Every structure is written in structure tokens, then in C-alpha cells.
Copies of this chain bind each other. A is one copy, B any other.
Amino acid sequence: MRDFSRGHEAMSVNTATLRAQWSLAEIIEGCARHGITAISPWRDQVAAYGLRQTVAHLRDAGITLSGYCRGGMFTATDKTQRALARDDNRRALDEAAALGSPCLVLVVGGLACHADQSFDKDLAGARRQVEDGIADIFDYARSLAMPLAIEPLHPMYAADRACINTLSQALDLCDRLDPMRSGALGVAVDVYHVWWDPMLAASILRAQKPRLLAFHVSDWLVPTRDVLNDRGMMGDGVIDIARIRGMVEDAGFCGYCEVEIFSELNWWRRPADEVLEVAIARHKTVV
């Protein structure tokens, strides 16, 4: 296991962590100032700044990507909408390639929505749509040499965000679509989403390096006051983050540890420089 206590070379910042305080340009500058060498930006932030400007700014600041957020959202009751999702995922792949990202992170979508915005209850059907959706863009992703990282989300997001909810389920899908384990399809392991999973250690072992494409950290707070935006800073919750990092590193992962904290009630209200300082300190001590 890598020793993080002396530096934060392996730390990356998911830009959602600072989205309330800073623009993408400010995030790039801020990270450079704090000696952070990687970020994982969100598409809307890149679109707002401009793709070319982002590429140039990253290059000038000496900052690389640990991932690009995000593709996915494959589920829809309507065929036309699914085709639109496919086209949008191709654009996301183009952007990821232009930005030099090591992968495109996929949040696959939850239950399909009907025209009246009510949810379709066919969870198994939604999961089939996800598999079809990934299969649909897989050739294009391979043509760009851009790996697809399926991010299993916590089961509490199964209805409205992602119906892939365990690593085991994501890896089953990888086995079906990429049986040769080419590295073109894998998973993003986010401790917030997977820490509770009784199969976690076994699934990480099963994934191994070609399928471990990203590693995200934050913490699970007790109580959790908001289902979506109450993630904790590493060390403030109950997740044994270092133990999970040990598992992914034992399985061959040697990439960035990406800090991704959605925190309406705390960290989004603090000065961004302070958030980065605390994240760096925690990276050295509890990640």
C-alpha cells in the first residue's frame, strides 16, 4: 500500500466538491496553488468554460485528469430518448478524449421515466437498457481508446440515478460485454457507494487492475441528513477508507484517489481553499 503520509501526489479533486464556490477555471488555479495535480471535471463545468479553454488551462497548469464526469443515463421508456442518450454519450467520449481523461465515468441511470415523469417500476428492464446502452457505445469508446468506468451507486439511488448498485453487478456486466478483460470496460470504486457491501473485498479482488479504473473517496456521515448532498469529508464518518484503499491497491490499482464530496450543508458553504487544505490533510492521515 502506498504511503500517503508525506505528500498528496496521488490526490485528485472531483470538481463537484468545489462547484458551489468556484468556476472550473478557479478550481484549476486553486488546485495548482495547492499542489494538486489531477482533477475530475463535470461536463456542465467544461461546457460552461469551453472545451478548448479547459484543455489549454489544464495543460498550462500542469494538471491531468483522473476521470471525466459523466456519461450514462441510458434508461428511458422512449426509444428516441435512448438514441439521444447514446449520441450524448458519444459526445461525452469525444470530450473525455480531448481532455486526455483516463476514463469516462458512467452513472447509468435509474428506473426509466414515463412521459408524465412517473417512474416505470420495471427495475430488471432498466438494467437491461443499461447493458444495451453500454453495448451501444462500447465500439465507439474503444475506437477512441477511452475506457468506460461503470460506477455502481449506493442502493439508495437505484430509483433515480443508477440501477447498477453493487460492484458484483457491474462486474457481471463487464464479463458479458468484455469477456477478454481488455481494460476498455471497468468500474469506478467510490467508497461512499460500496463501503457497506458484504461482497466488497471479493468484488475488488475479482475486478483486478484492468477493471479498476477509478477510486473515489469521501465519507458516510451518521446521521445522513440528505440522501444526495450530505457526504462527509474523509475521516468525519464511519468508512474505513484506508482499508478499502488497501484492497484496491492489493488488486493492482495505482491511480489517483479522487475526492468527491457533495455537501450542501457543510463543505459547499466553506471557503474552497479551506476545503482543499482539509482534504489534503485527511488524504495524508485517513485515506
Contact = CB atoms under 8 A, between A and B. Distances in A.
Interface string A214-240: 000000101111011000000001111
Contact of A119 (B127, B155, B198, B222): B222
A159 interface: yes
Contacts of A149: none
A222 B159 contact: yes
- For chain A, the bracket of interface size reads 20 to 34
A196 B121 contact: no
Nearest to A157: B196
A225 to B, nearest CB: 8
Given A155-B155, A155-B156, A159-B237, 11 more contacts: A121-B238, A121-B243, A123-B240, A127-B198, A156-B227, A159-B196, A160-B223, A169-B198, A223-B227, A223-B228, A224-B227
A141 to B, nearest CB: 24
A166 B198 CA distance: 8
A165 B196 CA distance: 8
Copies of this chain in its oligomeric complex? 2
A158 interface: yes
A111 interface: yes
A86 interface: no
A263 to B, nearest CB: 16
Contacts of A211: none
Contact of A238 (B159, B223, B243): B159
Contacts of A228: 223
15 contacts: A121-B238, A121-B239, A121-B240, A123-B195, A123-B196, A123-B240, A154-B156, A155-B155, A155-B196, A156-B156, A158-B195, A163-B196, A168-B198, A223-B227, A223-B228
Contacts of A156: 154-156, 224, 227
Interface string A133-167: 00000000000000000000011101110010110
A256 to B, nearest CB: 23
Contacts of A122: 240
B165 A119 contact: no
A26 interface: no
Contacts of A160: 222-223
A197 interface: yes
A228 to B, nearest CB: 8
A197 B123 CA distance: 10
Q: Which 10 A-B pairs have the closest CB atoms?
A: A158-B196, A121-B240, A155-B196, A169-B198, A159-B238, A119-B238, A156-B156, A159-B222, A155-B155, A160-B222
